[in-house]
Structure 1
Amino acid sequence: MTKKEYIIMATTKEKILSQAERLFNEEGYNNVSLRDIAEAAGTTIGNLTYHFPQKENLVFAIQSELYTEFLHNFVDQQDGLLTFENMINSFLRINENRKKNAFFYRNIVELCQESSAIASSVDTFRQKIYQYYLSSFLNLQQEEILRNDISTKQYETLAYTVVYLSGMWWQNTTQYYDESIPRIELHTALKDLIYPYLTKKGMSIFSSF
């Protein structure tokens, strides 16, 4: 394969993914066919299936890109202020990622049931972000930004709750879509969730963000 052919193939693959992501979000995952995606990407169904034999492969590629981008933004735990700022920013990134790929989070349960590869990737990602938040909480506790009268077990529960809400907030059966109650955005809920754990020092830093 020549360099030019490789570039064309890479560009076609990127265009297919981009159009798949757009159509899944706009039309709903179950309402979009591979042929719809091929037409939107300006390519043939044969070319599309060469890169992505099934819709599952498209979702897995979108999911992998989403997770890689999100984890790339994490920095190693350093001083308390940087850890705290990075954690708060992660809540905003979570919200942005879910809006960008709303179809995935609306249908996450069904997608995991249909694909063991997607389910395994979701599980691995959740483990990583659970460890990230737990280590962040314990680091901030040592820095007296989070309260010392809270046990490690309680911080484990807090980390679990953050991960659970992050994964299920937009799922199509949740209260997020209930118009009879005020809608709260995910990043706001996550910030409010950790607020009672802050020390006076932590509250002062929190208000400065």
Structure 2
Amino acid sequence: MTCTKQKIIEAAICLFNTKGYHGTSVRDIASEAGVNVANISYYFSGKKGLLEHLVTGFLEGYISTMAEAFEMRHVLSPKEVVFLIVRDILHYQSSHRSLTRFVYRELSLDSILIREIMTTYLQREKYYLKHIIETGREQGVFIRTPFAVFMSQLKGMLSAPYLYPQYISEVLYERPSDEYFTKMYGKEVEKWLSMMMEGNPSPVTQVLHL
């Protein structure tokens, strides 16, 4: 990747996060990157093309990360594969923090681009996880939590540190960008996964069933 193209990408991620996609002009991006406006058209065919490049590039890496973990299903148990997928995704997101934040915000919007992306990429995510969950159920190691509920909660946990960084830092007094928080958060996600997949009841659940 050329130096100019990388500068444009980095500038766009920064500005899209601070000013929003619609609040950022190509001139803003060019000024932030220190390049000529014409370079944005040359490399990305304009702001919309730049948006597509950022979102699809992120999701290509996201799905590739998940696919690599999914391939381990031949040597690992279903539970181990799910844990590996989640650990690798958390690491991938942490390694691309600013881009992750921007993409998750875009995914919350209803647009033709986002609908196309959901069909192209997120259906593959659903396939990988549904296959592993169903395999675990067949082996009698996972409880039958509705898959839609499981996925909704899992996606919420994976995206929360990037959708609500101000809340986490200013209300909860944690720093979501710190490595310590990322590790701590990952461990708590794993505890939740164990409960959801294996049905380990919490003390409250045990009382309710007495």
TM-score by length of 2: 0.66
CA distance in 2, matches of 1:180, 1:83: 34
- What amino acid sits opposite 2:84 in the alignment? N
1:103-159 Cα distance to aligned partner (Å, 9 max, x none): 2323433xx43x412331134322111111112223344566x43xx23x6245323
Residue 31 of structure 2 is aligned to residue 33 of structure 1:
no
CA distance in 2, matches of 1:195, 1:57: 41
Structure 2 residue aligned with 1:96 = 94
Q: CA deviation at 1:12?
A: 2.4
Change (3 A) 1:45 1:180: closer
**Identity of paired residues, percent?**
18
User: Retained in 2: the 8 A contact 1:24–1:103?
Assistant: yes
Structure 1: give runs of 5+ residues left out of the alignment: 1-6, 201-209
Structure 2 residue aligned with 1:207 = none
- What amino acid sits opposite 2:198 in the alignment? L
- Aligned length in residues: 183
Q: CA deviation at 1:19?
A: 2.0
Residue 16 of structure 2 is aligned to residue 24 of structure 1:
yes
Pick from 134, 138, 141: which aligns with 1:138?
134
Q: CA deviation at 1:61?
A: 0.5
TM-score by length of 1: 0.66
Change (3 A) 1:123 1:16: same
Residues 123-132 or 97-106, more deviating: 97-106
User: RMSD across aligned C-alpha pairs, in angstroms?
Assistant: 3.5
Structure 1 residue aligned with 2:48 = 56
- What amino acid sits opposite 2:114 in the alignment? I
Pick from 104, 116, 120: which aligns with 2:116?
120
CA distance in 1, matches of 2:161, 2:137: 27
- What amino acid sits opposite 2:48 in the alignment? E
1:33-86 Cα distance to aligned partner (Å, 9 max, x none): 211211222321122123234322212101111111112223212223452442
1:12-42 Cα distance to aligned partner (Å, 9 max, x none): 22321122113323x2324432112112223
